[in-house]
Chain A
């Protein structure tokens, strides 16, 4: 894409991200600079001139240059190499892009990256406990809660968000809590079981 080439010097491609991740090259811990960034918020951002923003993702602070029209989903996937959140409808209809923003599930496709400044973002990558799967991930694996797997990262984030605010949901609450995530393979039955299993694994059951 044209704009990507233009900004090559500042953006890491997905591959270069993975190859340099070990050295932490993609992230700059800049908590002491947050106030300075915040005060720039009222600047009018020009459509063609990328603007520096700070995003806190999975506990790490990232400084990146963005165009105002870039969604959080686009930035996660194409500029930070966090490709678990999937691109589906890009209209808030399918849930494949679900991430946690300040602990609640939201659609990254319907969130401008600039608007996500000052929040805590968690993606599927952030649920890992070192090399081990997090509870909800483990539950999905145990219950075989997917077929093609495309919707799975979003389903897991929705379930994780649900359990954060409601550690022991009723069946009705699970159905309602998961209703923003569609599965074209129709794995709903096992997804439902997986959420129940995640309740047990998290110690809520």
Chain B
């Protein structure tokens, strides 16, 4: 049984924001991450503010600028199946179809997916870790086989979302509404590394709601893909993965965005790989060089060193594959 909470189903964004101002209020979209956290006492909620019936947050539609607006409440299944996303933002459709299980994709929303809490077993378990306000990261000297090789700083989680790296590779931005009005933030600035604030995963204030995700117009010369490696075939989080969005002119890379999943506390943009391939012909040789660049600066802990050759292999294979698409 879940701990007790007050519940309200908001009928407008304004009403939701008003309720979120009260102490200990939490947003409920699909509930698939929230309820798990409450059940495991990761945090408490005095009031659950459901946004699930807000029409303005549903739907996927074209924008006047030729891009796409994905409502925060679009389910992962809707994102994975949307014909425009499959056609022009392939990396996002692929990443969405790799999220969790069919049941969770049918219920979980894209807004909830980018706002989900980390899966570190100490954080989810009965450990009063740094991220929960304690004074140490238990993964640092503990069972760290699923932890990060980039960006660790006092805390060594990996960001669990598959859709976030895909969105970042596409140059997406996040539309946010709160007490003080609306703002739009680049996906790249949405997640917070532990060095900046070890208890927060996103820039959201407690009264703020993600209302939509905006995708810029997709160039017909862009190819994109997502590759995720996990420990088993049924649902699982990424051990490592990469989102690629590359604009080609013939075989030459004009522009590239490369973002890793499963290896860092935030979706991890690899400017090293981008630099290595931009302006060059993407062939097997270059892919091998880029794969070396991908792991530059990676730091293994006691039990996650396998992630370095794994990531190197993923990047090399995926770059070769995308050149042939």
The complex places the Cα of A158 from the Cα of B106 at a distance, in Å, of 12
By a CB distance below 8 angstroms, the chain A residues around B104 are: 92, 107, 110, 180
Per the 8 Å Cβ criterion, residues 67-86 of A in contact with B are: 67-71, 74
Q: Of A42, A90, A111, which is within 8 A of B39 by CB?
A: A90
The complex places the Cα of A112 from the Cα of B107 at a distance, in Å, of 12
Stretch at the interface among A9-17, A45-53, A57-65: A45-53
Task: Check: B50 CB closer than 8 A to any chain A CB.
Answer: yes
By a CB distance below 8 angstroms, the chain B residues around A43 are: 8
By a CB distance below 8 angstroms, the chain A residues around B40 are: 91
By a CB distance below 8 angstroms, the chain A residues around B39 are: 90-91
- Write the nearest CB–CB distance from A200 to chain B, whole angstroms: 22
By a CB distance below 8 angstroms, the chain B residues around A176 are: 102
Q: When each residue 166-205 of chain A gets 1 if its CB lies under 8 Å from chain B and 0 otherwise, what string results? A: 0000000001110111100000000000000000000000
The complex places the Cα of A69 from the Cα of B107 at a distance, in Å, of 18
Task: Check: B322 CB closer than 8 A to any chain A CB.
Answer: no
Q: Of B2, B8, B11, B101, which is within 8 A of A44 by CB?
A: B8
Stretch at the interface among B30-38, B277-285, B312-320: B30-38
Cβ–Cβ contact A158 & B107, under 8 A? no
- Write the nearest CB–CB distance from B75 to chain A, whole angstroms: 9
Given A41-B9, A44-B8: A91 in contact with B36 (beta carbons within 8 A): yes
By a CB distance below 8 angstroms, the chain B residues around A91 are: 36, 39-40
Task: Check: B196 CB closer than 8 A to any chain A CB.
Answer: no
A-B contacts counted at CB < 8 A amount to 110
Q: Of A42, A47, A98, which is within 8 A of B11 by CB?
A: A42
Cβ–Cβ contact A158 & B102, under 8 A? yes
The complex places the Cα of A177 from the Cα of B40 at a distance, in Å, of 27
Given A105-B106, A111-B107: A45 in contact with B8 (beta carbons within 8 A): yes
How many residues on B have C-beta within 8 angstroms of the other chain's C-beta atoms? 36
Task: Check: A163 CB closer than 8 A to any chain B CB.
Answer: no
By a CB distance below 8 angstroms, the chain A residues around B234 are: 179-180, 182
The complex places the Cα of A46 from the Cα of B5 at a distance, in Å, of 8
How many residues on A have C-beta within 8 angstroms of the other chain's C-beta atoms? 41
Given A68-B5, A175-B233: A104 in contact with B11 (beta carbons within 8 A): no
Cβ–Cβ contact B103 & A107, under 8 A? yes
By a CB distance below 8 angstroms, the chain B residues around A104 are: 77, 106
By a CB distance below 8 angstroms, the chain A residues around B3 are: 69
Cβ–Cβ contact A46 & B11, under 8 A? no
Q: When each residue 97-116 of chain B gets 1 if its CB lies under 8 Å from chain A and 0 otherwise, what string results? A: 00011111011000000000
The complex places the Cα of A176 from the Cα of B48 at a distance, in Å, of 33
Task: Check: A142 CB closer than 8 A to any chain B CB.
Answer: no
By a CB distance below 8 angstroms, the chain B residues around A177 are: 102
Q: Of B1, B28, B103, which is within 8 A of A106 by CB?
A: B103
Interface centre among A44, A69, A175, A180 (most CB of B within 10 A): A69
The complex places the Cα of A110 from the Cα of B3 at a distance, in Å, of 14
Cβ–Cβ contact A68 & B7, under 8 A? yes
Task: Check: B15 CB closer than 8 A to any chain A CB.
Answer: yes
Cβ–Cβ contact A68 & B103, under 8 A? no
Per the 8 Å Cβ criterion, residues 258-283 of B in contact with A are: none
Task: Check: B219 CB closer than 8 A to any chain A CB.
Answer: no
Q: Of A71, A115, A182, which is within 8 A of B52 by CB?
A: A115
Cβ–Cβ contact B235 & A180, under 8 A? yes
The complex places the Cα of A104 from the Cα of B107 at a distance, in Å, of 9
Of all chain B residues, the one with the shortest Cβ separation from A103 is B106
Cβ–Cβ contact B5 & A47, under 8 A? yes
The complex places the Cα of A114 from the Cα of B9 at a distance, in Å, of 9
The complex places the Cα of A101 from the Cα of B11 at a distance, in Å, of 21
Cβ–Cβ contact B6 & A111, under 8 A? no
The complex places the Cα of A42 from the Cα of B39 at a distance, in Å, of 24
The complex places the Cα of A148 from the Cα of B97 at a distance, in Å, of 31
Per the 8 Å Cβ criterion, residues 78-118 of B in contact with A are: 100-104, 106-107
Cβ–Cβ contact A42 & B15, under 8 A? yes
15 further A-B contacts with Cβ under 8 Å, apart from A69-B2, A74-B1, A92-B36, are A44-B8, A44-B19, A45-B8, A68-B5, A70-B1, A90-B39, A93-B235, A98-B103, A105-B102, A112-B7, A112-B35, A114-B7, A158-B102, A175-B233, A179-B235
- Would you list the 10 A-B pairs with minimal beta carbon distance, nearest first? A180-B101, A68-B7, A47-B4, A69-B2, A45-B7, A179-B234, A180-B103, A104-B106, A44-B8, A41-B9
Which residues does B use to contact A, with CB under 8 Å? 1-11, 15, 19, 28, 31-32, 35-36, 39-40, 47-48, 50, 52-53, 77, 100-104, 106-107, 233-235
> Can you offer 24 A-B residue contacts whose CB atoms are under 8 A?
A42-B11, A44-B8, A44-B19, A45-B6, A47-B5, A47-B7, A67-B4, A68-B5, A69-B4, A71-B2, A90-B39, A92-B101, A101-B106, A104-B77, A106-B107, A107-B103, A110-B35, A110-B104, A111-B107, A114-B9, A114-B50, A115-B52, A158-B103, A179-B233
